[in-house]
């Protein structure tokens, strides 16, 4: 059972140490498997309450499915290899993953299939950390790896770790101005989150040294304007000029390229939320929702930030959010759980004033290195 407990916590994104953790895990299991598990079953399984009984086979089956396995036997076979072929198996899987990225075509749209592939890829790499640097070095040479692994599904939980360090391979392989703007903008964000002004200045200067106007795709420009907002915040400067420039650029794309994920508006909303400009953040969120192809079906990427704003100390208008979120729950899975679970949960805790959550936030800050989140308002 130890292997299953480890897999559950890894899939969930953090250790299970409280009743509240179990409640949230119940919700996550339902979202991913559409199967229900009793909270007390989880409490007994993780030793939070004493029990003389083992979980039922049906419960173990749900747990295994949640972790991405077909059965508990499959999970145990992978977790406890009994022969020397494990190194061969790792190599075979590694080369298989690389071959996928070499063959997958790139499309300028949110791709749920690629999200699923990337989630499984990241889970495999984190079980086999010795392969991470090698994988990032090689996947950076493929168009699909550049677009999906590095650009579209930014691994925020590892921005201050292996993903952030791997951006150098991406820039070297793509070797373009937009790649430099994208990667350096993420580095500005990384060092804003870790409260390192000198490194922010270094990467901001590199961006300004190559930036030449509105000639880049929305997801690159979103990162660019977000980096300026973070840098202005660190310098205690007004964000007005940055927001005016962002609106000018937005006038050239609004309603035209909204298939690109992450949407430009979401990146600006994120930066404004983190720099304590929540009313403006909601305005940008509403702009993006206005141009959605189906206005009655709000993607979870929008619901996530609307929910964060709704539960922050600032008062914002999020009428009908819970009803909308419930309606979309089965049609749209939460975006990027493997890539940003620690990050998003830390933001929710940081913007919530309950003192009892401080210990959990401190733990998440240690995991991510994002010390700035301890001081969000």
pLDDT, tens digit only, all 377 positions of the chain: 788 888 888 888 788 989 988 998 998 888 788 888 999 999 999 989 888 778 888 999 898 888 877 777 766 665 554 444 445 567 778 888 888 888 888 877 667 788 888 888 998 888 889 899 999 999 999 999 999 999 988 999 999 999 999 999 999 999 999 999 999 999 999 999 999 999 999 999 999 999 988 889 899 999 999 999 999 999 999 999 999 999 999 988 876 655 556 789 999 999 999 999 999 999 999 888 887 766 555 567 788 888 888 766 543 443 343 344 444 443 333 334 678 888 998 898 888 766 556 778 888 899 999 999 998 87
Q: Which of 51, 79, 107 is the last residue of a domain?
A: 79
pLDDT score, position 292 = 73
Task: Please tell me whether residues 64 and 137 are part of one structural domain.
Answer: no
13: left (phi over 0), alpha (psi -120 to 50) or beta: left
Task: Please tell me whether residues 158 and 304 are part of one structural domain.
Answer: yes
Tokens for 330, please give them. Answer: 């089965």
Closest residue by Cα to residue 255 from 287, 224, 283, 281: 287
Asked if residue 84 is part of any domain, the answer here is: no
Q: How many CB atoms lie within 10 A of CB 29?
A: 22
Task: Please tell me whether residues 75 and 98 are part of one structural domain.
Answer: no
Round to whole Å and give the CA distance between 67 and 86. Answer: 20
Closest residue by Cα to residue 100 from 92, 108, 88: 92
Task: Please tell me whether residues 230 and 352 are part of one structural domain.
Answer: yes
Closest residue by Cα to residue 141 from 170, 103, 115, 184: 170
pLDDT score, position 343 = 93
Task: Please tell me whether residues 159 and 18 are part of one structural domain.
Answer: no
Task: Please tell me whether residues 35 and 130 are part of one structural domain.
Answer: no
Asked if residue 274 is part of any domain, the answer here is: yes
pLDDT score, position 202 = 96
pLDDT score, position 9 = 86
Task: Please tell me whether residues 105 and 138 are part of one structural domain.
Answer: yes
- pTM of this structure: 0.77
Q: Which of 79, 106, 126 is the last residue of a domain?
A: 79
Q: Which of 30, 57, 79 is the last residue of a domain?
A: 79
Provide the number of structural domains found in the chain.
2
pLDDT score, position 318 = 35
Asked if residue 40 is part of any domain, the answer here is: yes
Asked if residue 299 is part of any domain, the answer here is: yes
Distances (CA, A) of 193 to 153, 197, 233, 244: 18, 10, 11, 24
Task: Please tell me whether residues 264 and 294 are part of one structural domain.
Answer: yes
Task: Please tell me whether residues 60 and 129 are part of one structural domain.
Answer: no
C-beta separation of 264 from 250 below 8 A: yes
In the block, which residue shows the tokens 């913007």? 351
Element (H, E) at 308: helix 300-310
Task: Please tell me whether residues 37 and 110 are part of one structural domain.
Answer: no
Task: Please tell me whether residues 185 and 121 are part of one structural domain.
Answer: yes
Asked if residue 85 is part of any domain, the answer here is: no
Element (H, E) at 324: helix 321-328
* Domain boundaries, position 263: 92-375
pLDDT score, position 328 = 43
Task: Please tell me whether residues 189 and 266 are part of one structural domain.
Answer: yes
């Amino acid at each position: 059972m130890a292997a299953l407990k480890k897999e559950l916590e890894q899939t969930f994104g953090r250790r299970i140490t409280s009743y509240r953790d179990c409640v949230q895990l119940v919700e996550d299991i339902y979202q991913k498997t559409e199967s229900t598990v009793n909270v007390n079953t989880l409490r007994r399984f993780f030793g939070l309450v004493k029990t003389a009984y083992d979980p039922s086979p049906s419960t173990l089956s749900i747990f295994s499915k949640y972790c991405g396995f077909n059965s508990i036997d499959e999970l145990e076979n992978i977790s406890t290899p009994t022969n020397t072929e494990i190194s061969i198996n790792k190599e075979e899987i590694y080369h298989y993953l690389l071959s996928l990225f070499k063959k997958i075509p790139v499309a300028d749209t949110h791709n749920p299939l690629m999200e699923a592939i990337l989630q499984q890829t990241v889970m495999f790499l984190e079980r086999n950390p010795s392969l991470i640097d090698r994988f990032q070095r090689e996947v950076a040479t493929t168009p699909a790896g550049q677009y999906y692994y590095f650009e579209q599904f930014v691994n925020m939980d590892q921005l201050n770790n292996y993903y952030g360090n791997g951006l150098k391979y991406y820039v070297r392989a793509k070797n373009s101005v937009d790649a430099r703007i994208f990667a350096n903008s993420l580095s500005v964000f990384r060092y804003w989150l870790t409260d390192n002004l000198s490194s922010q200045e270094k990467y901001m200067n590199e961006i300004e040294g190559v930036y030449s106007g509105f000639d880049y795709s929305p997801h690159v420009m979103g990162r660019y304007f977000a980096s300026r907002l973070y840098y202005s915040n660190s310098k205690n400067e007004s964000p007005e000029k940055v927001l005016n420039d962002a609106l000018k650029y937005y006038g050239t794309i609004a309603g035209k390229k909204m298939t690109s994920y992450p949407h430009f508006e979401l990146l600006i909303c994120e930066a404004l939320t983190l720099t304590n400009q929540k009313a403006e953040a909601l305005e940008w969120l509403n702009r993006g929702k206005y141009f959605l192809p189906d206005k009655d079906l709000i993607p979870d990427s929008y619901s996530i930030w609307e929910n964060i704003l709704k539960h922050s100390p600032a008062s914002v208008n999020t009428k009908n959010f819970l009803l909308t979120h419930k309606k979309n729950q089965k049609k749209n899975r939460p975006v990027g759980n493997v890539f940003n679970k620690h990050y998003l949960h830390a933001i929710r805790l940081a913007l919530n004033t309950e003192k009892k959550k401080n210990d959990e936030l401190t733990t998440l800050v240690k995991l991510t290195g994002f010390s700035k989140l301890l001081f969000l308002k």
